[in-house]
Amino acid sequence: MKAYRASLLRFADDQSPLFEADGLLVVGPDAAGRSVVRAVGSHDALIDRFPGVAVEDLRGKIIAPGFVDMHIHYPQTDVIGAPAAGLLPWLENYTFPHESRFHDDEHAAEVARFFFDELARHGVTTALTFATSHPASVNAAFEEAQRRGLRFITGKVLQDRHSPDGVRDDTEQSLIDTEALIQRWHGVDRLGYAITPRFAPTSSPAQLRGAGELAAKYPDVWIQSHVAENLDEVRWAAELFPAARSYLGVYGDFGLLRERAVYAHCIHFDAADRALMAQTGAVAAVSPTSNLFLGSGFFDFAAADAAGMGYGLASDVGGGTSFSPFHTMLAAYCVGREGQSKTGLSLTPGRLWWLHTAGAAKALGLDGGVGNLQPGNEADFVVLDPQATPLLARKTSQASNLDELLFALIVLGDDRVIERTVIAGQ
C-alpha cells in the first residue's frame, strides 16, 4: 500500500466534483490483486487508519482521475496538423497514405510507443482507439498497452470499399481477422476489443452485416465508428444506403447500435436519431477540436441531454488538433457556447471535467473501474501542478472556489500541468 497527501479531485455519484484541499489517497491491491483506491478523503480524518503506510507528500499539487479519451486514432499520430480542405480531402490526401504503412510491424510498434508516451504526457490513462485495417496495427497497439499495464481498447478498421489500395480490406477476410483478434485480445489483462467499421460509406452491406453478427455474438466487445460528422459525408451515406431512415439508421439496420457502441461526432442528427441513441444505449464521442478544425459543425449538448443520450469527450487525433484533455475541454466549452445553429449553453467546469473522466468511463461502460478516485476504482491518476506556468500560478492562487480553479486549468492548462501519470499504482 502507498498513500499520497495532496489536494484531491474526484466525482460523486450525482456527477458533481468533490474537492479535498488537504486530502489523502491510499492505493493498494484488492482481493484480486488489482491496484485500486483503498481509501480517499481528508488527510486528518484518514491518516490514523493507515499507520506504517508510506505517505508521499505532494501538498501544493492536485491528484485527479486519469483522463479517458473516447475516440482517437493512434495511426494518425503523424497526421495531426495536416492542412486539408475538410474531411473527405483530408482522408484521401493525408490519412489513407499514412495508414497504409501500418501493415509493417516495426512501423506500427514505433508509432504505438510514441503514441502511448504522448497519452501519458497528457495524463490520458484510458483510450478507445482506432487502429488501421491491418491486423499488425492492432497487435502492435495491444502489445505496447499490455506492457504498460493500461486499460485500453482498440480494433482493426473495417473498410472494404471506397478506400484506396493499401488500406482497403477484403470482406470475408476482414471478418475472420476481427474474430481472431477478439479471441486473442479481448479481456486479456486490462485490454478490450472494439469492432471498428471506419464509417458506413467505406463498408459494403455485407461487411456491416458481418460486423453486426460479431457484435451480437460477443456482446461485451465494444463497437466504434463515425457518424454524421459533416454534411457531404451525410449526403454520401444517404446515396449509398437509400433505404435507411438516416445515416445513424444504417448502423441500426445492421445491428451496430447497442450498449458499448461508441460513435464519434453525432453532429448532424435529428430528434429521431438522438432517441435511437438513447433507446439502444449507444453513445457519442464528442470531438470538439476535430469538429472545429475540419469545420464539421457543433455538437448539440442541450438536445443530447433532452433526449437522454449518453456522451463523453474525445480528442479525435489526428482530425483533432491536440492530445491534451485541457484543450479538448476548452473546445467543448466553446462548442457548447455556440448558439447560432443550436441552443447555446455554458458547460460548467465540473461538468467538462466529468465528461473527460468519470463521464467518459460511464459512457464506455467502465464506470466503477476507471475515470474516478472512489474506493474500488482502479488506481489510474494524474498529479497536476496548478503552478505550471506563471499565468496559471497567478490565476489559480486567486481562485476563490472550485469552479474558478478548474476553469483556470481548463482554459490555461496543457501538458505542462501534468506532473506525473500513474497507471495501476505505478
Part in contact with Zn ion (CB under 5 A); list of ranges 179-187, 199-207, 244-252, 316-324: 316-324
Nearer to Zn ion, 130 or 407 (CB): 130
Q: Least distance (Å) from Zn ion to the CB of residue 226?
A: 5
Nearer to Zn ion, 294 or 409 (CB): 294
SS3 88: helix
Q: Least distance (Å) from Zn ion to the CB of residue 143?
A: 23
Q: Least distance (Å) from Zn ion to the CB of residue 130?
A: 6
CA triplet 156, 161, 167: central angle to 5 degrees? Answer: 45
Residue 166's closest CA among 92, 220, 221? 92
Q: Least distance (Å) from Zn ion to the CB of residue 396?
A: 33
Q: Least distance (Å) from Zn ion to the CB of residue 197?
A: 12
- Positive or negative, the CA dihedral 345, 346, 352, 354 is negative
Part in contact with Zn ion (CB under 5 A); list of ranges 8-16, 260-268, 337-345, 390-398: 260-268
Nearer to Zn ion, 233 or 316 (CB): 316
Nearer to Zn ion, 230 or 377 (CB): 230
Which 288-307 residues touch Zn ion, going by CB under 5 A? Answer: none
Nearer to Zn ion, 131 or 408 (CB): 131
Q: Least distance (Å) from Zn ion to the CB of residue 71?
A: 6
Residues forming a β-bridge with 284: 263, 311
Exactly one of 144, 233, 253, 316 binds Zn ion (CB under 5 A); which one? 316
Part in contact with Zn ion (CB under 5 A); list of ranges 4-12, 33-41, 312-320, 411-419: 312-320
DSSP result, 396-408: HHT--SHHHHHHH
Q: Specify whether the CB–CB gap between 256 and 225 falls below 8 A.
A: yes
Residue 363's closest CA among 68, 12, 36? 68
Part in contact with Zn ion (CB under 5 A); list of ranges 53-61, 204-212, 274-282, 309-317: 309-317
Nearer to Zn ion, 99 or 160 (CB): 99
SS3 43: helix
Q: Specify whether the CB–CB gap between 285 and 263 falls below 8 A.
A: yes
Part in contact with Zn ion (CB under 5 A); list of ranges 97-105, 177-185, 214-222, 308-316: 308-316
Q: Least distance (Å) from Zn ion to the CB of residue 249?
A: 20
Residues 393, 399, 402, 403, Cα dihedral to 10°: -100
Q: Least distance (Å) from Zn ion to the CB of residue 319?
A: 6
Q: How far apart are CA 372 and CA 361, in angstroms?
A: 9
Q: Least distance (Å) from Zn ion to the CB of residue 165?
A: 22
Q: Does 69 bind Zn ion (CB under 5 A)?
A: no
Q: How far apart are CA 73 and CA 225, in angstroms?
A: 11
CB atoms within 10 A of CB 368: 14
Nearer to Zn ion, 233 or 273 (CB): 233
Residue 291's closest CA among 82, 69, 86? 86
Q: How far is CA 404 from the centre of its chain?
A: 25
Q: Least distance (Å) from Zn ion to the CB of residue 69?
A: 11
Nearer to Zn ion, 25 or 285 (CB): 285
SS3 42: strand
Q: Specify whether the CB–CB gap between 126 and 150 falls below 8 A.
A: yes
DSSP result, 113-151: HHHHHHHHHTTEEEEEEE--SSHHHHHHHHHHHHHHT-E
Residue with cell 496538423: 81
For the stretch 390-395, contacts whose Cβ atoms lie closer than 8 Å and that sit 24 or more positions apart, written own/partner, are 392/417
Nearer to Zn ion, 144 or 316 (CB): 316
Q: How far apart are CA 247 and CA 245, in angstroms?
A: 7
Nearer to Zn ion, 72 or 347 (CB): 72
Q: Which helix (H) or strand (E) holds 276?
A: helix 271-280
Nearer to Zn ion, 4 or 298 (CB): 298
Reading the block at residue 187, the C-alpha cell is: 479481456
Q: Least distance (Å) from Zn ion to the CB of residue 93?
A: 16
- Tell me how many residues contact Zn ion (CB under 5 A): 2
Binding site for Zn ion (CB under 5 A): 264, 316
